[in-house]
Amino acid sequence: MGKQRNGNESKGIGARASKMIKVNGSPSEWYDGMTVQNLLDRENYSFRMLSVWINDRAVEKSAFSTQKIPDGANVQVIHNISGG
């Protein structure tokens, strides 16, 4: 006999859905355990002076490699510019 279905497949219940975050307003794929540094590396952010905010909370640069990004988060990556 075939695999039994519970009727939830068409609704995405029990199915593995792609999880997403928003980065500077654009949808971006997310995975469990993703850190700020993982995101910066994947998106090729290489500018030395960056500020990162997750859900309106600033992330210290020293925490980029350990700060995990939650599913559904709104992440802002900002290039800091200085001048005189």
Residue 66, domain CATH: 3.10.20.30
Residue 17: per-residue pLDDT: 59
The per-residue pLDDT for range 39-78, each reduced to its tens digit, is 999 999 999 999 999 999 999 999 999 999 999 999 999 9
- Number of domains the chain contains: 1
Q: Is residue 70 part of a domain?
A: yes
pTM: 0.76
Check whether 12 has a pLDDT greater than 50.
no
Contacts of 29 (CB under 8 A, 6+ apart): 18, 19, 20, 21
Query: What is the domain range of residue 55?
Result: 17-79
Residue with tokens 């792609």: 18
- Mean pLDDT, the chain, integer: 85
